[in-house]
A and B are shown apart, each in its own frame.
Chain A
């Protein structure tokens, strides 16, 4: 009897997974091909709008080369923006983790009967559009806004006023943290919630202190959730241009998302946007593949 059900399962599950797989493939592969066709395509002579070229044999690599040639070297004006993006995203992700981990940990283990309420509150930011949340910060951070009024003690210390919205990298990084931290809490919570309490109790019984228990039991067991949550926040941050536009609008905080947005909106440069998209994709997909490989071998070793 187990044989029969296993055989049904072997046929049934792939069948059930088929529509989703097709859907994902179509929604990932088809747009990617459009991006490639635009990146390696041409430009119409009058409006200088992109003319996609579908046949790979006729692809023209000049736009891609242009972008690559302007990343490093004396003409490398894209370089600083790419370095900046990396720094901002790494710092913002680290801060996100510092903020989200304790919150998720508390909710998963100690919230008791407030757990449901806490979870709801953690999801609440999703109910408000990202744009509205950023606009709220514009209001709070402007020169005569609440933040400045508080740090200058209601105007007693006018020197303490900070021009938050005029191209401050700190503002952009904090904006990214604020925007993406909810996305991090949920996968972390899910991961931490799965760790059986008995394992931690066993560690304590065997003489490990609180810190040792965390270092040798909880942290290793939550590492997968940490990586997933980092991916979930880092990838959208890499494409984000909106936070920057709202909270800074200064070229000196331009990120790769801004480069993409600017090229898309500039006639004749749309192909370059495709080049940046491909770069971001490469940079973000590679570590993911490495991670998947690493975690698979880990499983094999265990079993």
Chain B
């Protein structure tokens, strides 16, 4: 039974009030923009009233306790049901590198007679910059949920027509009618991952996972020059909060921000970390023995080990009770694309249990599929025994902590700390 477009399970949300695009923009203006900016917009001939008139409505930022149902775009409406992609047409996919199995792409091309063209980006900031420039005609994009507000707010995404996406029923129930996009109006889940600590047992003598507070390792002079942290402002900065037992990893408190500042600077001075996102390559190459890592990357690392090094040396720690950072990536159809039909078909294709399993085998990031039993990942050969801890369990999403979009002023404060950290002061 194909679910109705917009609200696949016919559930009515009790929390989510509709939010108008205009009011969102106004609220964002009121909350974040300097007066000069309001002048600027006025000068640009914008029809928006000056920022001061926007009132006190706070920008709506989705969170598990504050689910949001995004307004449907009027500029780029959902496509009609029952269409077929033009034979020989091109589907332009925008994604991280090595984040889609090549065989999966090839099989899709053959099945639907379209050409898939993959462009890559390094981080979400870069991706948003290029998408906003508009000239790339991209059809499909893989964001994480903290950028949906921006994508919808700037009218860059197209609402989904769920008639094309029956396979969404294979997705974990945790993601049905999700808080970040009630009714799955714009997104479907792609992968799930945890952020933890990876290390090599042959280079680090201690069992990091058995420490009373494993995060302390990044401040331990013992490992100086032998470790790396993620080049992702929110992920690294929130690790400081978790280390100190603060579970609101989207804190807007001044005291928390200065705590992150002080401890990050201390980390720089005591352990000289490398700041990068290529752990899946560097850890196997022996450039360092300890790293803050995403679970998918440690799974992938086993394929990058040099000949003669056994995957047994890889270790991964994530709090066993799930009280750590958990996230999921999504797929959205971009408004600027010229092939939304093929984009819908590709989304549905990737949600097919067999295809998802094959894709998992290549990218190392687990899809939230009912057919992939998280307790059997080792037995099914997806993970070596020593990396069982890299399994993402559905209940993590009930107890774990999520990176959310920050309100503009806090976002700026976080970024300033990050800027100072990256400048190596």
Contacts and interface: CB of A to CB of B under 8 A. Distances in A.
Interface in B390-417: 408, 411-412, 415
B273 A81 contact: no
Interface residues of A, number: 43
Residue of B40, B276, B425 with most partner-chain A CB within 10 A: B425
A133 interface: no
Interface string B111-134: 000000000000101101100100
B268 A165 contact: no
Contacts of B275: 249-251
Contacts of B37: 42-43, 45
B36 A254 contact: no
Residue of B36, B39, B228 with most partner-chain A CB within 10 A: B36
Interface string A32-63: 00000000011101111101010000101010
Interface in A63-94: 76-81, 84
Interface stretch (B102-110, B170-178, B283-291, B295-303): B283-291
Interface in B276-319: 276, 285-288, 306
Given A45-B37, A49-B129, A60-B36, A254 B44 contact: no
B159 interface: no
Residue of A41, A43, A51, A77 with most partner-chain B CB within 10 A: A77
Contacts of A166: 225-226, 272, 274, 287-288
Given A163-B226, A166-B226, A251-B275, A266 B415 contact: yes
Contact of A58 (B29, B33, B43, B132): B43
A268 interface: yes
Contacts, number: 127
Given A45-B25, A166-B288, A266-B415, A78 B423 contact: yes
B274 A46 contact: no
Contacts of B424: 80-81, 84, 250-254
Interface of A: 41-43, 45-49, 51, 53, 58, 60, 62, 76-81, 84, 142-144, 163, 165-167, 248-254, 258-259, 262-263, 265-269
9 contacts: A46-B25, A48-B408, A76-B425, A166-B288, A167-B273, A250-B275, A253-B424, A262-B422, A263-B419
